[in-house]
Structures are given as structure tokens and as C-alpha cells.
């Protein structure tokens, strides 16, 4: 394939025409500055698709969906494919690019949960891919000579150049072309540098791509987008917005920018996404947990330095029932009338999380120990039971106490109260780290409860702690038998070397 001749002076930029685009391919991570923020450097480029209906030519307005908080901008250099290519080299790949322009790869981190990397819901919405306004022709220009800058409300937020990319433009085109035919008008979003962050209604984002060292310093012009607030709520059958501290840190660009505790400065960088299998609360593991008392689990957690893992001061509607499940979290803030009007009415955070519960989920609520109103009542508790949730935990009041006590699902609470939620609380956010009954609870923590109380067990420790608890209870069975037989406590509890030998003999005989 013969490369086209270089022109001494690039042609003038031309308007971007969205009707020519058949597909939009976006790169997950490509700038070293962004990789440093993320704490991982990929060995290979990875991609996702955006629908062409997400294009907003020359910018305009973008809606932040109702009920969400983490709409983030991403200023990017967009490649425009000029001819069909399949299985080309990186050099041929750059030659197939007819132009570049500015792009904003907007995303709503609140909607990432069910995307599983596809990014369709959080990045594919109408207007979520502003492009333009002008295309810079690439004839005579080197692929490393482009600059992308982003301004938010007039303040420079991003500034990087294509010569720093982990995956150069031609390599991206070549890589994609090995399996996918790229066609004239197709757009490749080449990743965003450091500086991407959250914007709110009223903010204005401007992006410009230029070639500052090329003759005439051609530019895409400013791609201007203003954020407005959407009002259309998602229906009950659509996965609701959900955020946690990790999503906040990624959306804002860092934990510190999100107002969270920063990562330790000496934390080791991750070169690839972790391959460790995710923790699963299997039926076998639940059976093992249920075979030991919370008091025994508490002892084993204390031996591992975890003393503050009990949810205190609550009573249960089902003292005869055992609770084992994984935490889903909900936080209430103190009632303020204007905030309750905006966040407490309609299909609020409380109703959304209840509707999203699954088998083995435990709904854990932070109500600041405020018992002066109910935090949940009979209808929502019934809904949680029918969805297969393992239990409900609130350090606030419980409404409809008699009816909820008659359900199969165990509910731990701070006491009954007849008042509705809004007397004291506004349901605020879900699936984030909360405080409940004096304990920190994170989404996915294992919650274990019985007549002795409630424990929060970090998933990484569950199997180790449970196995040790089983051994401990076996030893205690032996000690109890010896006490019943009239033996002295001294040397037996805890066992000295002599009693250890006798325990080993006892165990071998069983």
C-alpha cells in the first residue's frame, strides 16, 4: 500500500459531519498521565463502542440524568477514518486517518454498575459524544503532533499531547482493523489524559484539539457543551443510579479531589487489572458460617486485630433466625425540608435500593442512631423478603413493628416508631461505605447475626476466620465435656500442653 504524498501546508479545517459516521470506537485508557491516576498501566489497548445516536455535533447541551451526581467530562482527540481498512500495519493505519477533531466522551459513573465494561448506559446516552466543530486534515501532519486541552468554566483542566500516548494513533487503527473493518467516517476516541473530573448543571466544558507546531497551527475550534439537569426518572425495571467511594474517586480523578481520604503515597502501581476471582458467598461457605456462633467469630476477628466490627445497640424481629449475607448499604442524612422535597419523595434512593436487592443481600442502613422515626416499614420489608434478601439492618427506628416482626426476614433495628421516614431522615445515597450501630460497613461485607448480635466481616477474611472458628468451637466442646466431668479450669481453659495432648487423643477417637 502506497502512502499519500505529504502536503507542505495542510488544508483548512472543515466542519464535522455526523451523518457520515457508522460507528464510534472508544479507547479505555491510553495516556500515561491518566494511567498514573488510575494506578494501572495496560499492556494492550482495550475498547468499547458508543452508539452514533450519542453524537452531539459542535456541542450544545448535555443532560445530567435525574438522580445522578457523577457526570464526568473527558476531553479527547477523535480520529476520523478516511477509507476502508482491514488488517493494516500501524503506518498504514495512520495513513487511513483523514482528520482529527475534538471530542468529549461524557460518562455518568452512577450508571456503571451493570455495564460490566460495555459503558453503554453510562456513556451511550443521547448527546454524550460531542464532536467537532471542525476537522483538521491530517495530510502532512505527524500523529504525535496534536494537543488536546479542556476548560471548565474558563479554567484549564486538561492539557496533553499525542506524542505521550501509550498506544499511538496508527497502532490503534491497526489493532482495531485486525478484527473489525473500519469504514470512511468512523470515529475513534483515543482516550483522555489526566484532569477529567465531575461537572454539574450550569457548568460549561470547552475542548480544543490543535497541531500547534504545524504550519498555520490548525485547530478544531472550541467544542462547547453546557450541562443541564435532567428530570426524567428511570423506571423501576431499569438499574438505578448507584455510587460508592471508588466511583467517586474515579469520576473526580482522585480520592482527594472527591473529598475522600487519598491513597497512600507509597501504594504500589498496578500494571494490569487484578485477576483474583471475586469473593462469592457460596452455599457451602454459608453453611460453615452458620455452624459457628457470632461470639466465636468475634473472638477470631479480635485475634486478627479487628475489635470494632460489631453493629451494636440493635434488637431483632427474629431472635430465633440466623442472618448471613452480603451488605448493600443506604445512607440517610438529617431531614431538611428542601432536600427531602428533592431527594426523599417519589422513587427515592431507599426505594431504588430495595427494588434492586438480590438473594443473600443484607440491606444495611445508616440512620445516625436516630430512633425518632421509622427508616423502613412493612411494604418495603415485604418487598425485600420477596426478592430473597437475607435480612435488614438499621440503626434507626422501625415502622410497622408488629407486621415486620411477623415476616420471615430478620430485621435488626433500634426500636419501633410510628412516624414516617421524613420526620427525621432524607434517603441520600446507596452502595457506599457507611456507619451503622458504631461499625463501618462497606458494600459486599459479610454480615452475620444471631441472638448475640451482629458482626461485619471483611470478605477477604471470611474463610480464614470461619475455619479458625470451627476449630475453636471443636476445642471448646472438648473443654466443656471435661468441665462437666468435674475437671478444674486451671490449665484447661485455655489448654496447656498436657491438655492439648489429651485433646488430640479425644479428637482422634471421634
Long-range contacts formed by 38-41: CB under 8 A, 24+ apart: 38/250, 39/263, 39/267, 39/269, 39/270, 40/269, 40/270, 40/271, 40/272, 40/273, 41/166, 41/269, 41/271
**Is 479 within the bounds of a domain?**
no
Q: What is the pLDDT of residues 342-367, one digit of tens each?
A: 888 888 999 999 998 999 999 999 99
pLDDT of residue 9: 56
Average pLDDT in the 124-149 region?
94
The helix/strand/coil state of 478 is helix
Contact present, 100 and 77 (Cβ < 8 Å): yes
Q: Comparing 76-80, 280-284, 380-384, which segment has the lowest mean pLDDT?
A: 280-284
* Chosen domain end from 185, 207, 238: 238
Query: What cell numbers appear for 456 in the block?
Result: 461485619
**Is 489 within the bounds of a domain?**
no
Average pLDDT in the 16-31 region?
92
Shared domain for 361 and 216, answered yes or no, is: no
Average pLDDT in the 176-192 region?
96
Range of the domain at 452: 307-457
**Is 150 within the bounds of a domain?**
yes
**Is 340 within the bounds of a domain?**
yes
Shared domain for 319 and 438, answered yes or no, is: yes
Rounded-to-integer distance, Cα 416 and Cα 400, Å: 7
The number of distinct structural domains making up the chain is 2
Shared domain for 87 and 208, answered yes or no, is: yes
Q: What is the pLDDT of residues 75-129, one digit of tens each?
A: 999 999 999 999 999 999 999 999 999 999 999 999 988 887 789 999 999 999 9
**Is 486 within the bounds of a domain?**
no
Nearest 5°: the CA angle 69, 75, 78 is 130
Nearest 5°: the CA angle 99, 100, 105 is 145
Shared domain for 319 and 207, answered yes or no, is: no
Q: List the one residue out of 389, 331, 333 whose CA is nearest residue 356.
A: 389
Shared domain for 140 and 220, answered yes or no, is: yes
Average pLDDT in the 229-233 region?
87
Q: State yes or no: pLDDT of 433 exceeds 70.
A: yes
* Chosen domain end from 421, 436, 457: 457
Average pLDDT value over all residues in the chain: 90
Q: State yes or no: pLDDT of 271 exceeds 60.
A: no
Average pLDDT in the 174-184 region?
95
Shared domain for 57 and 201, answered yes or no, is: yes
**Is 278 within the bounds of a domain?**
no
Q: List the one residue out of 64, 54, 22 whose CA is nearest residue 123.
A: 54
Q: Comparing 312-316, 460-464, 493-497, which segment has the lowest mean pLDDT?
A: 493-497
**Is 254 within the bounds of a domain?**
no
CATH at 95? 3.90.850.10
pLDDT of residue 274: 42
Q: Does 236 or 31 have the greater pLDDT score?
A: 31
Shared domain for 45 and 190, answered yes or no, is: yes
Rounded-to-integer distance, Cα 109 and Cα 129, Å: 15
* Chosen domain end from 238, 258, 281: 238
pLDDT of residue 368: 96
CATH at 411? 3.50.30.40
**Is 1 within the bounds of a domain?**
no
Shared domain for 383 and 234, answered yes or no, is: no
Q: Does 264 or 205 have the greater pLDDT score?
A: 205
pLDDT of residue 263: 53
Query: What cell numbers appear for 26 in the block?
Result: 472508544
Shared domain for 72 and 191, answered yes or no, is: yes
Amino acid at each position: 500500500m502506497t502512502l499519500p504524498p505529504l502536503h507542505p501546508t495542510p488544508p483548512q479545517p472543515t466542519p464535522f459531519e455526523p451523518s457520515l459516521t457508522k460507528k464510534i470506537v472508544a479507547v479505555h485508557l491510553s495516556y500515561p498521565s491518566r494511567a498514573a491516576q488510575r494506578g494501572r498501566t495496560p499492556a494492550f489497548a482495550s475498547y468499547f463502542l458508543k452508539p452514533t445516536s450519542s453524537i452531539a455535533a459542535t456541542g450544545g447541551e448535555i443532560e445530567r440524568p435525574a438522580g445522578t451526581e457523577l457526570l464526568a467530562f473527558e476531553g479527547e482527540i477523535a480520529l476520523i477514518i478516511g477509507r476502508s481498512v482491514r488488517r493494516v500495519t500501524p503506518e498504514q493505519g495512520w495513513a487511513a486517518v483523514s482528520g482529527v477533531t475534538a471530542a468529549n466522551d461524557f460518562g455518568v459513573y452512577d450508571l456503571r454498575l451493570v455495564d460490566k465494561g460495555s459503558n453503554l448506559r453510562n456513556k451511550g446516552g443521547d448527546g454524550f459524544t460531542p464532536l467537532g466543530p471542525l476537522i483538521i486534515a491530517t495530510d502532512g501532519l505527524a500523529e504525535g503532533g496534536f494537543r488536546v486541552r479542556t476548560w471548565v468554566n474558563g479554567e484549564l483542566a486538561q492539557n496533553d499531547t499525542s506524542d505521550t500516548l501509550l498506544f499511538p494513533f496508527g497502532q490503534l487503527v491497526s489493532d482495531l482493523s485486525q478484527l473489525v473493518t473500519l469504514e470512511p467516517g468512523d470515529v475513534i476516541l483515543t482516550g483522555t489524559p489526566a484532569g477529567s473530573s465531575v461537572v454539574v448543571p450550569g457548568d460549561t466544558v470547552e475542548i480544543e484539539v490543535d497541531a500547534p507546531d504545524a504550519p498555520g497551527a490548525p485547530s478544531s475550534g472550541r467544542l462547547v457543551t453546557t450541562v443541564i439537569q435532567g428530570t426524567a426518572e428511570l423506571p423501576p425495571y431499569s438499574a438505578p443510579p448507584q455510587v460508592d467511594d471508588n466511583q467517586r474517586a474515579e469520576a473526580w480523578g482522585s480520592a482527594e479531589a472527591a473529598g475522600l481520604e487519598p491513597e497512600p503515597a507509597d501504594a504500589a502501581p498496578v500494571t494490569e487489572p487484578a485477576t483474583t476471582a471475586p469473593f462469592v458467598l457460596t452455599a457451602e461457605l454459608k453453611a460453615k458460617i452458620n455452624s459457628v456462633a457470632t461470639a466465636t467469630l468475634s473472638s477470631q476477628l479480635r485475634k486478627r486485630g479487628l475489635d470494632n466490627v460489631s453493629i451494636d445497640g440493635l434488637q431483632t424481629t427474629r431472635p430465633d433466625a440466623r442472618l448471613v449475607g452480603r451488605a448493600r448499604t443506604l445512607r440517610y442524612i438529617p431531614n431538611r425540608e428542601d432536600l427531602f422535597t428533592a431527594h426523599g419523595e417519589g422513587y427515592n434512593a431507599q426505594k431504588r435500593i430495595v427494588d434492586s436487592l438480590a438473594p443473600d443481600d443484607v440491606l444495611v442502613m445508616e440512620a445516625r442512631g436516630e430512633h425518632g422515626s421509622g427508616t423502613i416499614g412493612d411494604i418495603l420489608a415485604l418487598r425485600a423478603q420477596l426478592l430473597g434478601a437475607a435480612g435488614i439492618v438499621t440503626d434507626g427506628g422501625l415502622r410497622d413493628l408488629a407486621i415486620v416482626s411477623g415476616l420471615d426476614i430478620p430485621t435488626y433495628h433500634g426500636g419501633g416508631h410510628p412516624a414516617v421516614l421524613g420526620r427525621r431522615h432524607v434517603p441520600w445515597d446507596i452502595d457506599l461505605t457507611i456507619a451503622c450501630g458504631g461499625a463501618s460497613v462497606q458494600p459486599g461485607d459479610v454480615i452475620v447475626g444471631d441472638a448475640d448480635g451482629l458482626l461485619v466481616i471483611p470478605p477477604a477474611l471470611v474463610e480464614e476466620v470461619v475455619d479458625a472458628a470451627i476449630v475453636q468451637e471443636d476445642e471448646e466442646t472438648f473443654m466443656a465435656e471435661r468441665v462437666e466431668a468435674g475437671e478444674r479450669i486451671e490449665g484447661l481453659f485455655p489448654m496447656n500442653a498436657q491438655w492439648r495432648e489429651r485433646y488430640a487423643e479425644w479428637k482422634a477417637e471421634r
